[in-house]
Structure 1
Amino acid sequence: MSNIPTDTHDDADHGYDGPSKSQVKREMLALQDLGKQLIELSPDQLKQLPLAEKLYEAIRLAQRTTSREGRRRQVHYVGKLMREADADVIRTQLDTWKNGSREQTRAMHRLEALRDLLLSDDAALTGLLNEYPGADAQQLHTLIRAGRKEAQANTQLQAGQEPQRKHYRALFQALKSLDDTEQS
């Protein structure tokens, strides 16, 4: 019988269940990248985010720093301060600014489809006026007529000529303002 003590614990169980060193480093780099995105924002956008005062000031200083090495160090400092910030809320807001919310995108597609319907179908204006009784029927009718003329003129263009979209866009803006006043 040997005098070597036998250990009853597995070698893998050393009492540490936390993330690996590599995982911690990936998370730190992700926070640093998020900090870099924040440095690119305008002061007005920064004020809309839930940032601690210390982090806000560090970001503003990084925006003003012109030397390469100074900016690099400031970016690292912002990354360090990001550990205390609510990164998920910040990422969500940045994504909304970058891509717009899904609801906004859906609303824009709906307005575009309505505009195309108005330009192709005379009865669509009646339906629109029933849905929005406060709408200026004369203005909408004028924009639709001008949009149709514009579309007709665009079919006659030679290769390389730019199509006109002025009334097409104006009709969209009128529909958007109707939608905005309805939601208010």
Structure 2
Amino acid sequence: MPEYHNDGADALPASKSQRKRDMDALQDIGRALTELPAAKLKKMNLDDGLLVALLDFQKITANGAKRRQLQYIGKLMRDIDPEPIEQQLAALRGDSSAHTRWLHLLERWRERLVEDDSHVQQLINDFPQLDVQQLRTMVRNARKEREESKPPKANRQLFQLLKELIPEQGKPANSGDEQDNTQDE
């Protein structure tokens, strides 16, 4: 079945060179995936066959075998939509503006929590599944660190808690809505 690229008025079959560029682009995405640790690969919702091929690639030591496995990964990539994978890779690299906005949102929440108890109560109301005692302890420790000019260990823990709690745009939500949380800024 020939691929068609509609660059002009008439739909022409893709040239051999264009198909090769497309396959190389998919193989490049596969190469980027091979550089990720196994734990991150497992979190990415990849096709099972692709995930196994990527994990196998990481076990291979011979250069020729690595090259063949990379070609196989590129072949598997032809059958899946690469767009979600590219978005996740961009987010991991920090290229994604949506990911950056989400990180800024988390940072604002952390600052508000440390500054004022009313925001702690608002977060508890927005996310009822939250462990209230753990949150209050983290906030109290973060405030104490700030007052004593200590390293921000509790601040980091609070950020990680928020990261698990507030979903990133386009990722499955635990509960709540990110848009509701940004309205009072």
Question: What TM-score, normalized to structure 2?
Answer: 0.56
Aligned positions of 1:100-115 closer than 5 A: 106=101, 108-115=103-110
Q: Secondary structure at the match of 1:183?
A: coil
Matched, 1:168 2:119: no
Counterpart code for 2:118:
T
Which residue is equivalent to 2:47?
Answer: 50
Which has the greater radius of gyration? Answer: 1
Which residue is equivalent to 1:126?
Answer: 118
Question: What TM-score, normalized to structure 1?
Answer: 0.56
Of stretches 69-78 and 38-47 in structure 1, the one that deviates more from structure 2 is 38-47
Matched, 1:72 2:74: no
Q: Secondary structure at the match of 1:112?
A: helix
Counterparts in 2 of 1:22 and 1:116: CA distance versus 1, 3 Å: same
Aligned positions of 1:3-152 closer than 5 A: 17-41=12-36, 42=38, 45=41, 48-51=45-48, 53=49, 58-95=53-90, 99=94, 106=101, 108-120=103-115, 124-129=116-121, 132=124, 136=132, 140=136, 143-152=138-147
Tell me the percent identity: 35
Counterparts in 2 of 1:84 and 1:143: CA distance versus 1, 3 Å: closer
Q: Give the whole-Å Cα distance in 2 for the aligned partners of 1:169 and 1:115.
A: 9
Would the aligned equivalents of 2:145 and 2:152 in 1 still touch at CA under 8 Å? Answer: yes
In structure 1, runs of 5+ residues without a counterpart are 1-14, 155-162
CA RMSD of aligned residues (A): 4.2
In structure 2, runs of 5+ residues without a counterpart are 1-9, 168-173, 177-185
Counterparts in 2 of 1:127 and 1:117: CA distance versus 1, 3 Å: closer
Q: State how many pairs are aligned.
A: 155
Of stretches 65-74 and 124-133 in structure 1, the one that deviates more from structure 2 is 124-133
